[in-house]
A and B are shown apart, each in its own frame.
Chain A
């Protein structure tokens, strides 16, 4: 009835009503139901916190009374927005620097991730398993591990540090701009975040049916033409998604620019946000976060326009897929070796440095006589690290490990399932506003700084509200926060996985009378599996080493492992903290490995 009255009003109204009708019709369908579910979840976990952020960025805090002596707490004000968006040094300069670093790193990440995913997925490279493993490893490491390793290797007295490895062994002094500043931040961020792109693009490359490429070849298309007309369009959504994600992650990283940027007085937005949150200016930090959200909404819009206009990328049709691998021929072994060695130097070496330093009784003494298991299994010695015992004999560590595993697994599975739903609704409703909204909202958490996200969750869930249970102090709040913060990962993996699944399979099943659950179980999930699993693994591994998101939310019963690392760094116990970090990396490896194994077992059975 309402629809009718709109459609008869005016010309533009008619168009609107037609659109509305179309989206309503679609909403009533299966896709609509899934989308509705997705939207409700997004409202609770992202939109509500977001509204809260907007509200906080617009209201007077106790700290603001210093600047606004006549206001009272809770009043609405534009104070934070004006302060933020009129400041060159607090907003625009770091923004510019963020683009320099983020842009540079994203280009490098794309090149590195793309080449590696191609050689692993589509060539006859040797040592594939090892190289594939090395490609995921950096993501398991804390972002500061590479930055610290960088400083250890390149520092020298000329930049106001002690002598590092390079200068010690060769006498060469790296130029100042190579030790600190934007360039090392780009390099270190690239090494840390390329696995994003690698994982996502590899999943999508593995889904390409090489019959497409073969047919083109039979028709006489050149390699380049095939690449341009077939391969690239198919993997483009995954590449773009991953690149956007990588850019946002680089933009949000704090430790690397803080360690490598501050000495060169190079500021980015993340260090600026961190600085504001430290000194009671959370509302200004929220204002910056809102600007970042607006910015990424634009990027996603462009992204959607670009991909959304193409009709379809469905490559998994009714027929089976098989792939022909590119052959390197004679160059196979040398190329494989070169890649292997490079990866070893870039990834294993920093990791070994980290692990080895946890076996040094005295910090900084690389002599073999200094080798000790004290930090792992030693009983507390009052002379060392405030009497903290080795991590493996510390019951707090095991309790923390148990909690960490619980949070990571539950959040990972939730994200995996939910990502599939998101992907399904975004892809099936492609081109509609609903899809765009879901896609954009699903991306928001990534640009909200973790500590701010934790603060919002704390305030939102600390008192009971209608429809919102009081979750503060419960294990589920940690899970929900981890889940919400990582929805972007699974959105990206879910969407790019679903992009490739043709709609005709599902339609056929629908005709045969298969219900929604059955279709998800028998068609969607099996086909989207590589993407979903990649998403789950991303979530698990990143949750295991998450700290700033949880720090405000943890209560005695649900402390996670990383919280202990804070204690260690506070008492200056570098080796203990390195031992713990090694332990955390091993833990995420084991978890990720277990998930993969279970999954492939179930696949063989099913």
Chain B
């Protein structure tokens, strides 16, 4: 008997575990547009991808969304809560569920749900576009949708393979109350002894945006090499793979100050009582706080003349989830996210210096109460010497650069 019960337990275990490992996706037939047939079926049904309409009546869309009653968005920013509030005010009767997590959690959660066939999310918004493309867009878990009335406000590259909703920067700052002019103009200066312990960066092993910036240095290594030769006046040579890696290595040898997150940086270098100037690498979103007495009256200013670039610009896509339970509400919300051509409406929480809209028809710069000079300096985006993040290449190199950094950390 006891034997039997033991056998029974084992049998139960095997049956229970078995399906855990059954190979995820079955081979499915391809449709006319290169998606699996059932995916095309759904795209046709909800008018996405090749079947997207070129005109849309938003009143009808609202009617259809009202029947769905709610919309769920996974977002990598807490500001999505405010978008939800303005959406509910503008479209009464549709409830917004904004699940706000960190970017890596958004991707992890949605990818696991989607692979398991769980359909909860209607929209997914986060950064790390390269990883999103590989895990979500390329695997038909997420689809871009350009609101027809914005077709002219976005270029073709901004619409596919993922929709560029907005941009954010990772860039260098300094406290301009402590120094005349910019403290450095070539990125290689930061590897010099005089900058030892005075460069503050987020720990790239924890801080995704900082890591992305370092990776981009290895991608744009030709620019880095040019800047090296301009600064040191000698030809570049190194035992590291390229000038980007070399810069990372030399910076790390120069004892930079690491903090857990770039968030902490303004509070360290922006105080007026500092003895010496420090420079730090922050996310553009921090500029919202410059001079704000409620945030400790910190002063910091972006560098504008750094060679080869003052920082980088990442893409923040938003996409509609495959088999979204509320596809019409999802479209309506996506449209709301883009706001109006004054940076108002659903886009309002993001219309701040250091963030830039995806739509190209907003003319005026965002305002910031305590530091209008910062807002002016950061607008328009085209005139700033940023690198645009090569999202796919950065994703492809992520493991290598992270390993390199872990090695020399």
Contact = CB atoms under 8 A, between A and B. Distances in A.
A65 interface: yes
Contact of A566 (B78, B135, B294): B78
B5 A36 contact: yes
Contacts, number: 191
Contacts of A386: 78-79, 81-82, 349
A455 B112 contact: yes
A384 interface: yes
Contact of A258 (B9, B77, B206): B206
Interface stretch (A271-279, A312-320, A332-340, A586-594): A271-279
B32 interface: no
Interface stretch (A208-216, A298-306, A402-410, A465-473): A465-473
Contacts of A458: 109, 112-113, 116
Interface string A179-219: 00000000000000000000000000000000000000000
A556 B105 CA distance: 16
Contact of A552 (B109, B120, B197, B289): B109
Given A40-B9, A263-B258, A48 B407 contact: no
A80 to B, nearest CB: 11
A349 B25 CA distance: 56
B175 to A, nearest CB: 12
B205 interface: yes
Main secondary structure of the interface of B (DSSP, over half): helix
A43 B14 CA distance: 11
B259 A263 contact: yes
Contacts of B77: 570
A160 B406 contact: no
B275 to A, nearest CB: 6
Contacts of B198: 160
Contact of A279 (B23, B203, B402): B402
A280 B403 CA distance: 13
A7 to B, nearest CB: 15
Interface stretch (B43-51, B60-68, B224-232, B266-274): B266-274
Given A160-B268, A162-B274, A566-B100, A571 B17 contact: no
A275 B294 contact: no
B116 A24 contact: no
Interface in B360-392: none
A546 B402 CA distance: 29
Given A278-B206, A455-B108, A465 B19 contact: yes
Interface stretch (B180-188, B331-339, B393-401): B393-401
A504 interface: no
Contact of B278 (A160, A267, A551, A567): A160
Q: Which of A473, A552, A570 has the most CB of B within 10 A?
A: A570
B206 A572 contact: no
Given A90-B403, A279-B211, A2 B116 contact: no
A282 B108 contact: yes
A536 B403 CA distance: 42
B16 A467 contact: yes
A24 B102 CA distance: 51
Given A63-B134, A472-B118, A473-B120, A160 B296 contact: no
Contacts of B3: 2, 24
Contacts of B267: 162, 364
Contacts of B79: 386, 571
Contact of A52 (B20, B23, B263): B20
A265 B120 contact: no
Contacts of A572: 263, 289, 295
Nearest to B200: A160
B257 interface: yes
Interface residues of A, number: 79
Interface in B111-145: 111-113, 115-118, 120, 131, 134-135, 139
A458 B113 CA distance: 8
B112 A162 contact: no
Interface string B7-25: 0010011011111110111
Contacts of B211: 279
Nearest to B117: A463
Interface in B251-284: 257-260, 263, 267-268, 271, 273-275, 278
Interface of B: 2-3, 5, 9, 12-13, 15-21, 23-25, 72, 77-79, 81-82, 97, 99-102, 104-105, 107-109, 111-113, 115-118, 120, 131, 134-135, 139, 197-198, 200, 203, 205-206, 208, 211, 257-260, 263, 267-268, 271, 273-275, 278, 289, 293-296, 349, 395-396, 398-399, 402-403, 406-407, 409
Given A74-B23, A275-B205, A556-B99, 9 more contacts: A40-B9, A51-B20, A162-B268, A262-B205, A361-B294, A462-B116, A463-B116, A466-B18, A566-B78
21 contacts: A43-B9, A48-B13, A66-B395, A66-B396, A73-B24, A162-B268, A163-B273, A279-B402, A362-B294, A386-B79, A451-B105, A458-B112, A460-B20, A462-B113, A463-B117, A551-B101, A552-B105, A552-B108, A556-B72, A566-B100, A567-B100
Interface of A: 2, 24, 27-28, 36, 39-40, 43-44, 47-48, 51-52, 55, 62-63, 65-67, 73-74, 87, 89-90, 157, 159-163, 258-259, 262-263, 265, 267, 271-272, 274-275, 277-282, 361-365, 383-384, 386-387, 451, 455, 458-460, 462-463, 465-468, 472-473, 551-552, 554-556, 566-568, 570-572
